[in-house]
């Protein structure tokens, strides 16, 4: 499908006010025919699998490789270790126990991963025309496409908004203590006194505006 590379040419994606975004068959579809193969924009491994499965590709690891900086995760290969270290795990390394113990849902962790998997510069650059939907084929890896997904603000309850606001404050605080705003990986575990307050240092005001 030229417009949606992850989808088969047997479906066409359209959008209207009543139905939202929807797919229609462009020809007869056989039983068992694959219509969509899409790599997720972002994904995280659940805490309970962190000592048995690779943090990066989620496969089971018979011979695990540890992270050189924390006891929280394992990797299946040098390739996965390196990929994670160069990206999200550089910042999540020491804050993972906090994420897991906070009781925040996997969706909240995915929200954080959507940020930590890219450098701050990526978002600073995107922010300039974030309101503009990207043109051309739909790329799942493009954050702007995720940003423009329907959020159903008009159907959400006050409690839901409150929860989301609190979670945003927590995740922004995690970004601060992880070293993400500075682009510098922290080198020691988090002390609980660091998260007594969700206040973020004044010098990160712009970062709070960008990521909050």
Site of interaction with Zn ion (CB under 5 A):
54, 56-57, 67, 69-70, 76, 80, 93
Nearer to Zn ion, 7 or 95 (CB): 95
Nearer to Zn ion, 21 or 51 (CB): 51
Q: Are 72 and 97 in contact (CB under 8 A)?
A: yes
Compute the least distance from the CB of residue 174 to Zn ion, in Å: 15
Which residues lie closer than 8 Å to 174 by C-beta, 6 or more apart?
95, 98, 99, 112
Nearer to Zn ion, 45 or 208 (CB): 45
Compute the least distance from the CB of residue 68 to Zn ion, in Å: 7
**Rounded Cα–Cα distance for residues 144 and 124 (Å):** 12
Nearer to Zn ion, 50 or 168 (CB): 50
Compute the least distance from the CB of residue 61 to Zn ion, in Å: 7
**Rounded Cα–Cα distance for residues 188 and 206 (Å):** 25
Assign residue 121 a region (left: φ > 0; alpha: ψ between -120 and 50; beta: otherwise). alpha
Compute the least distance from the CB of residue 84 to Zn ion, in Å: 8
Q: Are 95 and 29 in contact (CB under 8 A)?
A: no
Nearer to Zn ion, 73 or 115 (CB): 73
**Short-list 95, 16, 32, CA closest to 24:** 16
**Rounded Cα–Cα distance for residues 60 and 123 (Å):** 32
Give the angle subtended at the CA of 83 by the CAs of 63 and 168, to the nearest 5°. Answer: 110
Compute the least distance from the CB of residue 87 to Zn ion, in Å: 12
Compute the least distance from the CB of residue 166 to Zn ion, in Å: 27
Nearer to Zn ion, 73 or 200 (CB): 73
Q: Distance from CA of residue 194 to its chain's centroid?
A: 24
**Rounded Cα–Cα distance for residues 161 and 159 (Å):** 5
């Amino acid at each position: 499908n030229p417009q949606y590379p992850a989808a088969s040419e047997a479906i066409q994606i359209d959008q209207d006010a009543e139905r939202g975004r929807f797919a229609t068959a462009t020809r007869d579809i056989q039983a068992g025919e694959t219509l969509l193969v899409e790599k997720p924009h972002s994904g995280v491994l659940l805490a309970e699998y962190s000592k048995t499965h690779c943090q990066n590709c989620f496969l089971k690891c018979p011979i695990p490789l540890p992270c050189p900086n924390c006891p929280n995760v394992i990797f299946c290969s040098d390739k996965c270790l390196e990929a994670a270290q160069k990206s999200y795990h550089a910042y999540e390394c020491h804050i993972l126990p906090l994420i897991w113990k906070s009781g925040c849902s996997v969706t909240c962790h995915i929200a954080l991963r959507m940020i930590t998997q890219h450098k701050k510069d990526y978002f600073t650059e995107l922010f300039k025309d974030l309101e503009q939907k990207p043109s051309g084929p739909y790329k799942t890896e493009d954050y702007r496409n995720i940003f423009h997904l329907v959020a159903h603000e008009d159907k959400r309850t006050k409690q839901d908004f409150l929860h989301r606001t609190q979670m945003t404050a927590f995740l922004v605080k995690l970004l601060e203590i992880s070293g993400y705003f500075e682009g510098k990986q922290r080198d020691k575990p988090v002390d609980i006194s660091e998260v007594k307050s969700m206040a973020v240092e004044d010098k990160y005001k712009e970062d709070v505006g960008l990521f909050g």
